[in-house]
Structure 1
Amino acid sequence: MRVLLWIAPGTWPAVVDAARERPESDVITLIVADDPSDSVPTGALGGLIGRHRREPEPEVADLTADEGRALLEQAASALGRTCATRLVSGPTERVITAAAADADWLIVARDGDRAHLGPHSLGRHARFIIDHAPCTVQLIWPDSIPDLGTIPPPPR
């Protein structure tokens, strides 16, 4: 099976841990996105007219190509088995989704509010990838899983 791992700052160790559970026969590719649009200064998008774009998550923002390559090397070393690596440039959600077209299985970590259960645990990148990936998606918590008491109350 062809398995793609989305390697992102702050969440990649959990993705690599999940990949270690995969059979040795799987062909694993690690992918990092170098997204120029994520290096917009914090607060710069708030005053724009029209739909408000969420600010980049601090752990995901400002990933340069050199940092991306270093992250790939670190993740590949942590995986401890043969794998391919890819550094892609463009909007994170688009380039990861496009790369998933060549995979049978995609491992993604939640990239939003990881302190609470619910839809806000997915950031904009993961939400798009999960909604559009043309393969099976394994969604994991990068940290400990919040308890059921963190579920938002029902709407009134």
Structure 2
Amino acid sequence: MAVVVWIVEATWTACVDAARTHTPAHADIVLLHVTPADIPGAAHGAFAGLLGRGHPERDPGTRLEHLAAASAQQLLQAAADRLDRPCTRMERTGRIEREIIVAAQGAELLIVARDGDRSRLGPRSLGPASRFVVDHAPCPVLLVWPEPAPGLKTMPPPPPRHPHPPHHR
């Protein structure tokens, strides 16, 4: 069984715990972290636009790239340690939601954590990237709460009922 676990700074422990709990011991697990490509790119552009191209060693975009890579490696190491099983660690850079979908191609399960408003039940508990991933995943998705789920009283009320159903002609 091939399982991809999306590792994100704020929610990775819940995803790793779900992988340990809901996948067989022999599963091929990939811990996946995606660094957005737009952050270092914006810094490169700002540096070139404001300060010119005379001192590439001062380009903050390069430093951000190195920091992001080191952070991703540390996060993936912590996730692998918590998983405590053989796994593959994968780092990608690009549009987060699209990189997740590409990496999940051929997987039998994708594990994703809710990353939006986690104070109540409902669709807003998914941020834009995770909503895209859930809607476009090429495999089954296990969607987990990073902390205990809120109570049923947080669910939005049902839509109002109309006294008379509309007539169709």
TM-score by length of 2: 0.75
Give 1 or 2 for the bigger CA radius of gyration.
2
The equivalent of 1:57 in structure 2 is none
Inter-partner Cα distance in structure 2 for 1:155 and 1:136? 29
The equivalent of 2:119 in structure 1 is 115
Inter-partner Cα distance in structure 1 for 2:84 and 2:74? 16
Inter-partner Cα distance in structure 1 for 2:102 and 2:152? 34
- Per-residue deviation, residues 68-110 of structure 1 (Å, max 9, x unmatched): 1110011001100100000000011000011000311101100
- Per-residue deviation, residues 97-138 of structure 1 (Å, max 9, x unmatched): 110003111011001011110000000111000110101111
The equivalent of 1:15 in structure 2 is 15
Shift of 1:36: 2.8
Matched length: 136
Percent identity between the aligned chains?
48
Shift of 1:154: 3.5
Structure 1, unaligned stretches of length 5 or more? 41-62
> Residue type matched to 2:75 in 1?
L
TM-score by length of 1: 0.81
Inter-partner Cα distance in structure 2 for 1:38 and 1:17? 29
List structure 1 runs of 4+ shifted beyond 4 angstroms. none
Write out aligned runs for 1:27-106 (5 A): 27-37=28-38, 64-106=68-110
Inter-partner Cα distance in structure 1 for 2:38 and 2:92? 13
The equivalent of 2:56 in structure 1 is none
Structure 2, unaligned stretches of length 5 or more? 43-66, 161-169
> Residue type matched to 1:143 in 2?
E
Inter-partner Cα distance in structure 1 for 2:105 and 2:124? 26
- Which of the two has greater helix per residue? 2
